Amino acid sequence: MITFDHVSFTYDGEQFVLKDIDLTIEAGQFVCVLGANGSGKSTLSKLINALLLPDKGHVFTKDMDTAESENLFLIRSNAGAVFQNPDDQLVASLVENDVAFGPENLGIENPELRDRVTEALHIVGLSGSEKRETTALSGGQKQRVAIAGILAMHPEILIFDEATAMLDPRGRRSLMRVCKDLHQRGMTIIMITHFMEEAAQADRVIVLDEGSVVLDGTPDEILTQDEKLRELNLDVPFAAQLSRMLQDRGIDVATHIETESLQKELLERFNITLNTEA
């Protein structure tokens, strides 16, 4: 679906923010990209839909070279991105006009246009908000309208570039729900984030450091490496942090990345000690 073939990128012609990246992302994967500020993760996401072009190597999105200008239209309509600041991404004053903006530019006309807007708003949980003013929405709602605007273009790839960074916990949870739902509908999701709880829900976690891929694997393989993550200036999921603290205190538990599984193991241990007492 997406291939990075020996990709390097520089903004100023001197310092490479991405260095010789080789990656393949399969259709339908939910990939989370982690990395400290300046690691190159946003740059990576912008190369996918040709917002940036590689200085060395090639990026293929749906087998189309992003550097070929005749591919641009198809690539952009197939890979949409939602960025950090909810206030920067809406173009119209009414929700329905904003969502219709993308498909309209693709040449979609009514009644299909109207159907697409209705469907997209339904998916992001904003049915009935068609006539609301975009300025009156909360940050989380604005982000969902931005997603709806992309969904209405029927893309196969959705890129979230720190799209939850400026949201409060409730907004973040609602956006994650939409994201998981879209993944279940078969979309390819690329999520750039600092939040480990979000990364734990992906199929695959890629960690960048100074422009190179340093870790690549399942959340279980990557997020349990607490020392390595700290070295890379990243957070450690709460469950992994607590697992490690318990190990330091002489409790023999596995390192978990999700709280439910850690709680389950601790409870089992507690019940065993209860039974031996009895």
Judged by the rule CB under 8 A, the positions of this chain that interact with other proteins are 36-38, 84, 138-140, 162, 165-171, 194, 233-235, 238, 241-242, 245-246, 248-251, 259, 263, 266-267, 269-270, 273-274, 276-277
For residue 248, the minimal CB distance to other proteins (Å) is 8
Looking at the chain, how many residues does it have? 278
For residue 242, the minimal CB distance to other proteins (Å) is 6
Euclidean distance between CA atoms 132 and 46, whole angstroms: 31
By beta-carbon proximity to other proteins, the closer residue of 86 and 155 is 86
By beta-carbon proximity to other proteins, the closer residue of 87 and 115 is 87
For residue 270, the minimal CB distance to other proteins (Å) is 5
One-letter amino acid identity for 129?
S
Q: Is 98 helix (H, G, I), strand (E, B) or coil?
A: helix
By beta-carbon proximity to other proteins, the closer residue of 101 and 238 is 238
One-letter amino acid identity for 111?
P
By beta-carbon proximity to other proteins, the closer residue of 8 and 84 is 84
Euclidean distance between CA atoms 22 and 184, whole angstroms: 27
Task: Give the count of beta carbons closer than 10 Å to the beta carbon of residue 150.
Answer: 23
By beta-carbon proximity to other proteins, the closer residue of 227 and 274 is 274
For residue 247, the minimal CB distance to other proteins (Å) is 9
For residue 209, the minimal CB distance to other proteins (Å) is 12
By beta-carbon proximity to other proteins, the closer residue of 12 and 109 is 12
Is the peptide bond prior to 111 cis by the omega test (within 30 degrees of 0)? yes
For residue 250, the minimal CB distance to other proteins (Å) is 7
Which distant-in-sequence residues (6+ apart) come within 8 Å of 36 by Cβ? 209, 232, 233, 234
Instruction: Determine which helix (DSSP H) or strand (DSSP E) holds 205, and give its type and residue range.
Output: strand 204-209
Among candidate residues 255, 257, 236, the one with its CA nearest the CA of residue 246: 255
